[in-house]
């Protein structure tokens, strides 16, 4: 800090925000004065440092009533992250500097000509596969940067991805609503701390509409084949259409291929049977006997949603799960009104949730007090089960958080109801009138709900993806999904993924992860527009180095303490981000060109030698 106290830093969080166009104007002026190309990097950094010092001085002046300056916060709005960034001499907040980089990039993209040159910017053709949360996020990032030649291919008939597909009773998000949303489109009137699935689906639908994405989405269109040819991708759809694009982005999500259990006789069941993600609302469950197979987050939510509605519910448990007790209060009308009317409140609460969740996320990746705290809370919650035999049956044989931690304030109450039964004996087969367990008992039921999860390692498959030299995705991933920094693959130029392999998905907001990844991808596309390269793909060496770093960090994580879960890859090792989620913002803060194979336009061939390893 440059003499600015913690008090002033906190004060910055309450200053109203300056209009975005005013700030972009200042940044654009700095860029125009010192250039935007790599050779101007030193001068640009010096100018930005001067700009930071000036902005810090302005903040101090605003906070001092004796100076006599009008507080622009009374009429304008200043982006709080920019202010915090400005008063830091050593840039301790990578997210803030990344935000400033984006401001500079947006200013450059706002002009038809590259700043300081007469060279027109190129206009990329971009294809996004999937109109779920991450696809919407990427499309909006491109639109806001002035890139409009984009197509979103969506195989379903609506947006929302997993929130469109999943509609089962009791569905809620297990990340707080005020953090599970886009930072650029905050919703002031969430109904609950953990909002129901339908509300989240409506939120993403509204965001897509508000940002004008409808005209870019092709519903009912699945990408079945994509092949790289020289400098572009050839995309083929299930409708027989073929198009060529400069960039291909897979936003297919993680949990979208249902996993069905191999249970003998399942197809002979006389009643209704369906996967939780394909819930049949034509089947009435009120007063019926319902079997729920599976005890992950979905199974727990189903028990909470069905208890008291169905006549009798049986939960078939293969292995017990730890449950973290978190209530789900409804937000009051006053709270919603404050979020609508108080400037900066939504942003401050968003950052607060991010800080808390990233603090707790330390328990996942490093032993210590945070892990002990979460473990103690889970064990104390288990002790609320009064029946000692039931409590023993619900006691897992692994550490809390080794599997995805279940967040529920009502599961243990629901499982202790008289109309709910826990079944721990294994399933032998399914008969026409129910489920037969290995002890020979027939459990007569009317409905079987399969809460058996998803193939979390499929990603964009079964789409046939072919990179350079005819290498297929199946060949590249023969030993399991691997990626460079979660977003790209060696041998697949100008191809990116959102929520790709190794992304931080354990009890963290995927919207925040998607925003970080979308910003990184956008940075690459902006460089392409400025003709810094034609094609780019991470080197195999850089990808191997990143994966080696992950393997070296993995033993400290709770996922390596011994359990089976969908986090585990085919080699028996966890495949998650082994660091705090905040490190994703650091690693994706700016591309390292030296870690990539680039083909450079002939006119800019000198860039292959002069572009620094940023």
Report DSSP letters for 17-81, one per residue.
PPPHHHHHHHHHHHHHHH-SSGGGHHHHHHHHHHHHHHHHHHHHHHH-TTT----GGGTS---HH
pLDDT bin (cut points 50, 70, 90) of residue 100 is very low
What is the rounded average pLDDT of the residues 74-89? 36
CA 269 – CA 446 distance, rounded (Å): 9
Domain annotation covers residue 608: no
What is the rounded average pLDDT of the residues 400-425? 96
- Which pLDDT score is estimated for 557? 92
Residue with tokens 């080696």, as numbered in its chain: 548
- Which pLDDT score is estimated for 571? 74
Give the tens place of pLDDT for each residue, 346-365.
999 999 999 999 999 999 99
| Spatial contact of 293 and 449, defined as CB atoms under 8 Å apart | yes
CA distances from 569 to 77, 350, 455, 462 (A): 47, 33, 11, 18
> Which of 411, 347, 447, 356 has its CA nearest to residue 80?
347
Residues in the chain: 614
Assess whether 279 and 315 both reside in one domain: yes
Assess whether 317 and 446 both reside in one domain: yes
Domain boundary pick from 77, 109, 141: 109
pLDDT at position 1 over 50: no
What is the rounded average pLDDT of the residues 165-178? 96
Q: In the chain, what are the helix, strand and coil shares in percent, each to the nearest 5?
A: 40, 15, 45
Assess whether 172 and 289 both reside in one domain: no
pLDDT at position 114 over 60: no
Share of the chain above pLDDT 90, in %: 70
pLDDT at position 111 over 50: no
Give the tens place of pLDDT for each residue, 288-301.
999 999 999 999 99
Assess whether 76 and 95 both reside in one domain: yes
CA 571 – CA 564 distance, rounded (Å): 12
What is the rounded average pLDDT of the residues 106-120? 49
In the predicted model, what is the mean pLDDT of the chain?
A: 83
pLDDT bin (cut points 50, 70, 90) of residue 181 is very high
What is the rounded average pLDDT of the residues 439-462? 90
DSSP string computed for 94-147: HHHHHHHHHHHHHHHHTSSB-TTSSPBPP---EEEE--SHHHHHHHHHHHHTT-
Domain annotation covers residue 535: yes
- Which pLDDT score is estimated for 24? 39
Assess whether 425 and 480 both reside in one domain: no
CA 413 – CA 307 distance, rounded (Å): 10
Least confident of 109-113, 206-210, 221-225: 109-113
Give the Cβ contact number of residue 520 at 10 Å.
23
Assess whether 435 and 480 both reside in one domain: no
> How much is the pTM?
0.80
Assess whether 289 and 418 both reside in one domain: yes
Domain annotation covers residue 53: yes
Domain annotation covers residue 352: no
CA 562 – CA 560 distance, rounded (Å): 6
Domain boundary pick from 422, 450, 478: 450
Assess whether 558 and 494 both reside in one domain: yes
What is the rounded average pLDDT of the residues 15-43? 39
| Spatial contact of 485 and 589, defined as CB atoms under 8 Å apart | no
- Which pLDDT score is estimated for 196? 97
Positive or negative: CA dihedral 476, 510, 355, 81: positive
Full domain range(s) for residue 236: 126-257+456-588
Number of compact structural domains in the chain: 3
> Which of 20, 46, 21 has its CA nearest to residue 33?
46
What is the rounded average pLDDT of the residues 420-435? 98
CA 50 – CA 86 distance, rounded (Å): 10
> What CATH number corresponds to the domain at position 404?
3.50.50.60
> Which of 315, 298, 330, 325 has its CA nearest to residue 171?
298
Give the tens place of pLDDT for each residue, 460-492.
888 999 999 999 999 999 988 999 999 999 999
Assess whether 579 and 539 both reside in one domain: yes
CA 478 – CA 3 distance, rounded (Å): 54
- Which pLDDT score is estimated for 459? 81
Structure token pair of residue 405: 């931690």
CA 27 – CA 29 distance, rounded (Å): 5
Give the tens place of pLDDT for each residue, 592-613.
999 999 998 865 443 333 334 4
pLDDT at position 498 over 90: yes
Domain boundary pick from 109, 139, 155: 109
pLDDT bin (cut points 50, 70, 90) of residue 92 is very low
Assess whether 470 and 416 both reside in one domain: no
- Which pLDDT score is estimated for 456? 67
DSSP secondary structure letter of residue 331? P
Q: Are strands 232-237 and 223-229 parallel, antiparallel or unpaired?
A: antiparallel
Give the tens place of pLDDT for each residue, 314-350.
999 999 999 999 999 999 999 999 999 998 999 999 9
Domain annotation covers residue 28: yes
Positive or negative: CA dihedral 514, 516, 518, 520: negative
pLDDT bin (cut points 50, 70, 90) of residue 90 is very low
Domain annotation covers residue 611: no
Give the tens place of pLDDT for each residue, 240-273.
999 999 999 999 988 778 889 999 999 999 999 9
Assess whether 80 and 162 both reside in one domain: no
Give the Cβ contact number of residue 475 at 10 Å.
11
Assess whether 483 and 445 both reside in one domain: no
Domain annotation covers residue 373: no
- Which pLDDT score is estimated for 66? 39
For 314, the enclosing helix (H) or strand (E) is strand 312-316
Domain annotation covers residue 30: yes
């Amino acid at each position: 800090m440059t003499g600015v106290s913690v008090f002033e830093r906190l004060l910055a969080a309450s200053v109203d925000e300056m209009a975005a166009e005013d700030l972009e104007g200042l940044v654009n002026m700095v860029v125009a004065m010192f250039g935007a190309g790599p050779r101007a990097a030193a001068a640009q950094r010096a100018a930005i440092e001067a700009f930071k010092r000036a902005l810090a001085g302005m903040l101090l002046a605003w906070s001092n009533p004796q100076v006599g300056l009008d507080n622009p916060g009374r009429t304008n709005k200043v982006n709080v992250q920019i202010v915090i960034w400005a008063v830091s001499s050593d840039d301790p907040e990578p997210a803030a500097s990344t935000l400033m980089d984006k401001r500079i990039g947006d200013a450059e993209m706002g002009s038809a000509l590259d700043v300081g040159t007469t060279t027109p910017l190129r206009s990329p053709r971009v294809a996004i596969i999937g109109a779920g949360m991450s696809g919407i996020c990427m499309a909006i990032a491109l639109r806001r940067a002035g890139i409009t030649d984009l197509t979103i291919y969506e195989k379903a008939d609506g947006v929302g991805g997993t929130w469109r597909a999943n509609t089962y009773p009791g569905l809620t998000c297990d990340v707080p609503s005020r953090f599970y949303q886009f930072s650029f489109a905050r919703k002031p009137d969430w109904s609950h701390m953990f909002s129901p699935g339908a509300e989240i689906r409506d939120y993403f639908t509204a965001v897509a509409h508000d940002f004008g994405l409808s005209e870019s989405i092709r519903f009912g269109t699945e990408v079945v084949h994509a092949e790289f040819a020289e400098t572009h991708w050839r995309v083929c759809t299930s409708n027989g259409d073929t198009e060529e694009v400069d960039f291909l982005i897979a936003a297919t999500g993680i949990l979208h291929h249902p996993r069905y259990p191999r249970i003998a006789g399942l197809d002979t069941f006389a009643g209704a049977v369906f996967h939780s993600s394909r819930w049949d609302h034509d089947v009435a469950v009120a007063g019926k006997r319902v079997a729920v197979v599976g005890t992950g987050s979905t199974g727990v939510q189903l028990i909470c949603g069905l208890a008291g509605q169905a006549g009798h519910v049986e939960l078939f448990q293969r292995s017990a799960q730890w449950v973290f007790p978190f209530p789900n209060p409804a937000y009051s009308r006053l709270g919603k009104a404050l979020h609508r009317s108080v400037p900066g409140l939504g942003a401050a609460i968003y950052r607060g949730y991010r800080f808390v969740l990233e603090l707790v996320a330390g328990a996942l990746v490093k032993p210590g007090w945070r892990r002990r705290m979460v473990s103690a809370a889970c064990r104390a919650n288990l002790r609320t089960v009064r029946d000692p035999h039931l409590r023993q049956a619900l006691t897992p044989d692994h550490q809390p958080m080794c599997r995805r931690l279940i967040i529920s304030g009502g599961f243990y109450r629901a499982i202790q109801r008289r109309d709910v039964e826990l079944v721990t004996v294994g399933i032998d087969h399914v008969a026409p009138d129910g489920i037969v367990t290995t002890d020979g008992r027939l459990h007569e039921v009317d409905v079987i709900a399969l809460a058996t999860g998803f193939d979390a390692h499929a990603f964009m498959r079964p789409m046939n993806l072919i990179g350079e030299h005819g290498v297929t995705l199946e060949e590249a991933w023969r030993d399991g999904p691997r990626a460079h920094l979660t977003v790209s693959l060696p041998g697949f130029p100008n191809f990116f993924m959102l929520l790709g392999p190794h992304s931080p998905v354990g009890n963290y907001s995927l919207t925040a992860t998607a925003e970080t990844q979308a910003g990184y991808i956008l940075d690459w596309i902006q460089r392409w527009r400025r003709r810094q390269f034609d094609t780019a793909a991470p080197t195999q060496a850089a990808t191997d180095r990143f994966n080696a770093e992950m393997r070296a960090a993995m033993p400290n994580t709770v996922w390596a303490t011994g359990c089976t879960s969908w986090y585990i890859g085919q080699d028996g090792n966890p495949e998650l981000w082994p660091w705090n989620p905040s490190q994703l913002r650091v690693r994706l803060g700016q591309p390292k060109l030296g870690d990539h194979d680039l083909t450079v336009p002939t006119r800019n061939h000198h860039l292959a030698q002069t572009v620094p390893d940023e």
